[in-house]
Structure 1
């Protein structure tokens, strides 16, 4: 078996704002396996400044994987504990190589086109007019769940946007999730959360910075608005540490990004623990190309979670790869009549 890796820079169609700054480009890496005339591909999706494996030796570790590909998927996963995005890329690449179709990793009613996945519509940060325009577009597109990033503009304006949604759609018609990306200061977090509780918000993601687990535990215990951990899960590698985190914080939800938490195996560990402690969960992509998104969607469908998931079609980028993934009326579909615009022989 031969393995190679390839860097690829995704370019945003327009700068995309979060509380941590504005994104214009996204770095990703493809792992390609070749054996007996077949090829398989996996994506190692990393977000600089956020991923646990944003390290100077990242590319060196990719080369190590290629040099040791004979170890196999399971052994490599265990050796890559501190490189969750590479764990995911390895899992994906081996499944791709072993599949009849390199892009159908986990066959199901979803990949046959017979079933879809409910997803949320993402509203990016920006000025009030820009965010309002996005909200209106998502509503027109038939979404029944909107995820709105907050924490970058004036809080009163963000509340006005939430008020705008609720004046037009009640909680039965439109579910609202908000994501603070750790933007709230500890001394103001509970007050701000309480201020938006009246808008019948489904949940708030990561209200304060990660690693403030004492305060996060207090918030989860005292808030009327369910809290979802997101960044808090990044860098928690062992099963024992994962369980200790959930026991201490007792969040209402956790959000699972396979590229950040060790791929399918890492995600499955978190799901098992969440269900043990009666914690809700959903899966979301982390700005991967359509290669990684496709794998995440196929895995997500098999988890049988009816909640809207954080998936899409990678339409943020100018140079993504056309794929059978399509969004219609707030649902993600795999349209088999559409073909991949990605040639494995080019890598």
Structure 2
């Protein structure tokens, strides 16, 4: 039974602002969730980001405070079933939402309980979720706004084995950002250009005409584009399908999945890829079930974090390992934090090693 459920507030500064079309983030505030039973401790991280589809921190904190008083003495496995049900029929976006719309709080407690339960069984969290899980996962580099990136930074990522490089677009005027991409194309050495792909994220910055213009221009670049996330400010499946038919790369949906398409069949959204943020979906097992269904429908799936602390990054990475697909996941964000709650997973040559330690791998 759960002997103690504690919440520890934190505030972690970033090394530099995390900028997107939604604005800039300079500080990550959240709660470290700590669940104790039989001498073992499970950890979860509640760091909401409303622009990514979660509740505000005040709502998440209120829910977790309520649980901290109510759940002492409860069976952790039964509680996890209530918080994050093992529902392999969860085939629509947000089709099994939390009873109250606090997905980041639900995800944090689900992670802490899953960490605890997998430790009790003596196995790593990813293997607890899927015995055929991968021990290491590919990750992308996250460099921030395209206008702040130069060819030397791209070359450094490539030399460190980070082949997929994510850049934010939709922040500066469209033609200015296209000019930057063309300048990068001219500046980077041809031998290095062959070893990278760009993953672009507009965060819903554009109208349909601007998105068409951007796709048309980037399709002619020598620098290969792997995907473009959230191209439209007002997305709908027909417009997205129109854009996807034009694009030679995958279009992807991320924050609009919960905000705009809750209850929808992911196969009907008009894009080739979904970017799943477990803290916005509300659970480890709920996210895994949706991802499996989506992949079974021939859609691509990428798991990403929310610029989490190490306490949040570890279980999210274990979830990506349980998914066991070859795409680079958006989990290379630990270096953005000037300080952390613990040591994040090691990234080497573009791969994140998860190890075999029982539980999520996080320790405070």
Q: TM-score, normalised by structure 2?
A: 0.80
Deviation at 1:214?
4.5
Name which of 223, 227, 230 aligns with 1:206: 230
SS of residue paired to 1:72? helix
Query: 1:142/1:258 Cα in 2 relative to 1: closer, same or farther (>3 Å)?
Result: same
CA distance in 1, matches of 2:44, 2:171: 34
CA distance in 2, matches of 1:97, 1:174: 39
Name the residue aligned to 2:302.
282
Whether contact under 8 Å (1:27, 1:47) holds in the other structure is no
Name the residue aligned to 1:220.
244
CA distance in 2, matches of 1:196, 1:234: 28
Question: Which stretch has the larger CA shift, 156-165 or 92-101?
Answer: 156-165
Name the residue aligned to 1:147.
166
Deviation at 1:140?
3.2
Q: Which runs of 5+ in 1 are unaligned?
A: 109-113
Deviation at 1:237?
8.8
Deviation at 1:55?
6.8
Whether contact under 8 Å (1:290, 1:313) holds in the other structure is no
Whether contact under 8 Å (1:4, 1:66) holds in the other structure is yes
Whether contact under 8 Å (1:217, 1:248) holds in the other structure is no
Greater relative contact order (Cα 8 A, min sep 6): structure 1 or 2? 2
Q: Tell whether 2:273 aligns with 1:249.
A: no
Q: Deviations over 1:103-128 (max 9, x none)?
A: 943359xxxxx943211111201644
SS of residue paired to 1:151? coil
Root-mean-square deviation (Å):
3.0
Name the residue aligned to 1:53.
55
Q: Tell whether 2:215 aligns with 1:193.
A: yes
Deviation at 1:172?
5.0
Deviation at 1:49?
3.7
Deviation at 1:141?
2.1
Q: TM-score, normalised by structure 1?
A: 0.84
Deviation at 1:220?
2.9
Whether contact under 8 Å (1:80, 1:87) holds in the other structure is no
Q: Deviations over 1:132-182 (max 9, x none)?
A: 453233223221111111111243343244335545357752121111111
Whether contact under 8 Å (2:54, 2:279) holds in the other structure is no
Matches within 5 A, 1:293-312: 293-312=313-332
CA distance in 2, matches of 1:262, 1:43: 12
CA distance in 1, matches of 2:256, 2:246: 19
CA distance in 2, matches of 1:169, 1:54: 45
SS of residue paired to 1:216? helix
Matches within 5 A, 1:1-347: 1=2, 2-54=4-56, 56-69=58-71, 70=74, 72-77=79-84, 79-80=98-99, 82-100=101-119, 104-107=124-127, 115-125=135-145, 127-128=147-148, 130-167=149-186, 168-169=189-190, 173-199=195-221, 200-209=224-233, 212-235=236-259, 241-243=263-265, 246-312=266-332, 314-323=334-343, 325-334=345-354, 342-343=363-364
CA distance in 2, matches of 1:315, 1:99: 27
CA distance in 2, matches of 1:100, 1:341: 11
Q: Which runs of 5+ in 2 are unaligned?
A: 86-97, 129-133
Deviation at 1:47?
1.1
Name the residue aligned to 1:111.
none
Deviation at 1:313?
5.6
Deviation at 1:187?
3.2
